[in-house]
Amino acid sequence: MIILMTILTLVLVYLVWQRWELSRFKVTKYQVSSHKLKEPASVAVVADLHGFIYGEGNSRLLREVADIAPQAILIPGDLLVSKYPHTYETAYEVLRELVKIAPVYYSYGNHESRLQEPECAGYPLFEQYLDKVRALGVHVFSTESRSISLGDNRVMLSSLELELDYYEKGFIAPMDGSYMQERLPLMNPGMFQILLAHNPAYAEQYAAWGADVTFCGHNHGGLVRIPGIGSLVSPQLTLFPKYDAGRFEIEGKHVIVSRGLGTHTFHVRVFNRAELLAVEFLPE
């Protein structure tokens, strides 16, 4: 009886702790320097919100984004959950407020990509969502590059939308060496190049392609993290994902993987708090 009561108590404590943990996020700061930049600039990176709400109307999240004073807000995908229509409205409401802070650049994650399939049940509603989002002035990216202003800098912002085959559960599909250049030709190597690419499994390909800094999400920090070791499993069900969270330097290029702000399916965060990224770009 004592053993049973102890187990039930531990389970209750865990559930209460997880409920508390899933209602919080932190701001993680990074600095990226480059000789291609003329003046300092800053961006906020909002990844994998998945319809989460922090405070009424996401007031806590919006306040933290505003405090960063960004010249741009970058969203590397999964603002919603494809099978939950109510998250589309949450995503729209957040975007409606974010555009009041700074220009918003929104690229697709696997959840948005899935909703573009005409046979998907959510396809008509997603099309309506996109029309409303674009009407707000949000810059919606698929696989493309655009020159944008970042403070006093002119930089190249690119987005890569991967086919859904690259999100299959349980393994990492190989990517052909020519894939990046064929899908997304590098427009101007002399300009500072930012890439939004949802899936971090292909970080080495992004760096080799020429992105000075790539922003990813998708792995949610690996759900469960062991201090000093890293994540145990990704939402894609791959064990010990190499590019789980944080900054990685590859041949002088930066790949920054957000732990994301929300979860779906597996609502678990152990030693793995959600995060908003504040990134400062500096001339070298």
Q: How much is the pLDDT for 13?
A: 66
Q: How much is the pLDDT for 214?
A: 98
Q: Please, what's the b/e burial string for 110-119 (b: 16 or more CB within 10 A of its CB; e: otherwise)?
A: bbbbbbbeee
What is the block-wise mean pLDDT of the chain (284 residues), using blocks of 10 residues? 73 70 93 97 98 96 98 97 95 98 97 90 93 98 96 96 92 92 92 97 97 96 82 81 94 97 87 95 95
Q: How much is the pLDDT for 10?
A: 66
Distance CA 144, CA 182 (A): 12
Q: How much is the pLDDT for 48?
A: 97
Q: How much is the pLDDT for 222?
A: 83
Q: Please, what's the b/e burial string for 44-75 (b: 16 or more CB within 10 A of its CB; e: otherwise)?
A: bbbbbbbbbbbeeebebbbebbeebebbbbbb
Q: How much is the pLDDT for 171?
A: 84
Phi, psi (deg, nearest 5) at residue 257: -110, 120
Q: Nearest to residue 279, comparing CAs of 106, 61, 30?
A: 30
Q: How far is CA 133 from the centre of its chain?
A: 18
Q: Under DSSP, is residue 16 helix (H, G, I), strand (E, B) or coil?
A: helix
Global confidence as pTM: 0.94
Q: How much is the pLDDT for 11?
A: 64
Q: How much is the pLDDT for 120?
A: 85
